[in-house]
Amino acid sequence: MAALKKPATRHKPKAEMNVVPYIDVMLVLLVIFMVTAPMLTQGVALELPKVAAQALPTPGERRIVTLSVKADGSYYWHLGSEVDTETRSETAADRAAMIERVGALVEADPETQIYVRADENADYGRVVSGIAGLQREGITRLGLITEAPE
């Protein structure tokens, strides 16, 4: 009986790792994260603290415009030397008219400070839209007014 010979191999054994399946898994994970990431950042639920805040100090001679946004979306404001939420010196039914008139007040005196307050039932979009419109007009001295919790 002749001794069994090993078949002659031309190739040496390879000790390399096949990475193709890992690349496939990574691509699937990438697609999953790309699809789910926007859903995770749609909104954040916040519960804001209620604190009693002190009024900001203002120099005595500065002109102050107290701009109020009503629940129906109309605007009214008062120009004076202190914050006054009760007095109405001028009103505007829409955002464009408000921006034009308040912009003229600030143009007359660039040091004019504007404080914005809104009815709690006012549409948040209208409030932000009014603030953004004022900022586009170059008005940078803006503040927000809040009421102390009861």
pLDDT in tens, the chain (150 residues): 556 677 666 777 777 878 888 899 999 999 998 888 777 655 445 565 666 666 655 555 678 888 888 888 888 888 887 777 677 777 787 888 888 888 888 888 888 888 888 888 888 888 888 888 888 888 888 888 877 666
pLDDT at 52: 67
What is the SS3 assignment for 22?
Answer: helix
| Separation CA 39–CA 68 (nearest Å) | 35
Predicted local confidence at residue 57, as pLDDT: 56
Query: What pLDDT sits at residue 29?
Result: 94
* Cα(124)–Cα(126) distance, integer angstroms: 5
Q: Would you state the pLDDT for residue 28?
A: 94
Domains of the chain, CATH where assigned? 64-144 (3.30.420.270)
Angle at 29 between CA 24 and CA 22, to 5 degrees: 30
